[in-house]
Structure 1
Amino acid sequence: MQATLLDGLRRPIEVGRNLRSALAGLLSQEFTFSSGHLTAILNGCLFAPSILTFWFVNGVIDFSTAIVIGSVASPAGLQIRLYAYLLLVPTFLLLRAGFHLAHPGHRKRVLSGTCPQTEYLSLDWFSVGILATGLPLALQDLGPWLGMNAVFLVGLFVFPRFLPPRLGMAEKFLAIAAGSALFLFANYGALLPVGPDPASVVGPVATLALTDATTASLLAAVNSVGVGPLLVAAFAVAMNHLLTRPELRDVPLLRHTLPRRDPDRVVVASAAFGTVFYLLVVAAATGELVFVP
């Protein structure tokens, strides 16, 4: 009878140990890199928690940038941009999941708990469609842009080649500060209660501007479904190569704000889809969708 009682106690203990071992094995599988269904979801295949950080940080940066450079024409435009950002990550995740699940090989791997390492879309470049569609408004005052980029070109890419590394790095910081100050002064110096008129100091840098007709034509082209995605994709590819150059990535603070260099096919697809997404949000908010400018 005592043996029977011991056997009765031993059985639940053994079952408990087996369950604990099985659970440990399951969790070990799920949280091993690129293996397990939870990992396939949380480790970047269908979703990644880091995207939420990107969502907030990139949203703050893009909104503030849009206001500073003047790529938002009105409060209504800013409101539409807000709607787009609220829908940005869910739409991106659905597209990425759709790509993986539509591909027969990837679908099989995802459903078996393994994350394919092939990347089709990048949220960095997907979000460019929201900012780039407003750039023609910012570029209407062309002089400050040309002046700032001329300073950047010489100060970041030309002069440092002829200087010792340490002095060259200091010169890069000076160029970034000087170019930014020139842009702000040329754009907003006239609003200061004291100080000289920007046109009298920097001349064409403050006065050169596109005509209203040219700006309207560029804005219509970028915000059309037929042409806009192509223009934004070309812009994104150019930025993908420019912003990832070693001359910029060597700058200690700047390197943390720059995107990584992605394959051009990923950049083109992401920027084009992001532009179409934004134009559809605008269409839903305004009832207008332009196919050809």
Structure 2
Amino acid sequence: MTPQQTAVSQVDHQYRNQGGLWDSVRKAAFIIGSGLFFLVAFRNSLMWHLQSFWGASGDFWQTQWSKLLLLFQGKEASLFFVGTMLVPTGMFWLFNGIFMLADTTGKPSFITRYRIQLDKNNPVDSAHLHHAIKIVLRNQLFYSAPMVFVTYMIMQATGDPISPQLPHFHWVLLELSICGLLEEILFYYSHRLFHHPAIYKHVHKIHHEWTAPVGVVALYAHPLEHVLSNMLPALVGPVLLRSHLSTTCLWFTLALLVTTISHCGYHLPFLPSPEFHDFHHLKFNQCYGVLGVLDRLHGTDEKFRETKAYERHTLLLSMTPLTQSIPDEPKKSQ
């Protein structure tokens, strides 16, 4: 091939790469936009029926909310902190306490038999785990808490996050869906940014010390990453939507539980599959997102889709571990 042909080939390859990226962005915008349109279209039909079904429950929670407002009368900032920080954080540590018991003792076997990487964390290194817990507590105390306070100031200035009236059921579902989509976009691109070689070794490498993650590692990160990639993607939705405290509390709790499951290292029955993010910790340069939509559009899950882990990336509806029903290929002898 002549030098001129080589130059033309390189330009053509670069153009196709840029075109592929732009095409992926347009596809992502189309899919996300279509999803939002679908949610809005069904807001006053299917969601209305769900709201009617839960009407009695809604009356019950409205009564409890009114009592809570009376209890915290004049202390709205404290109530916001309880709902957005203490409740989600308490659920995070309760959930992780169960996983840490399994990680350190190997019991109960009901959990440990569903381990994804069978040869890792069996049991987990105690010193490594204690260090991770310290970093997580630091992030929650010195970074999450101040960000929640700033969030309250913003939401108080732009709306009424502690309104006496609870939001309707269908509106809560719509807001949770939008928050999930926004988190997917912001987390995917910030996560890929932290994998840039110039940034990775200084920031994100800390999180990837765990090639076989455990639940508490979900928040084990450099402060910069914790702020920009863990907290910010979750905060943007409620701020933009001017969400009610009840919705924000529910969203933060769900987000923390989902990321815990993604890092826990166990593919348990009837819980979301953690295979996707577990593979990311194992291979580093695959599976950057939460939902996997942008990974598919950008091709950052191609290697993952060629593995047994991809076959196991499904909701487990039986009691048989997927490592048994879909085992890895036997290693070739040297």
Q: State TM-score, norm by structure 2.
A: 0.24
Q: State TM-score, norm by structure 1.
A: 0.26
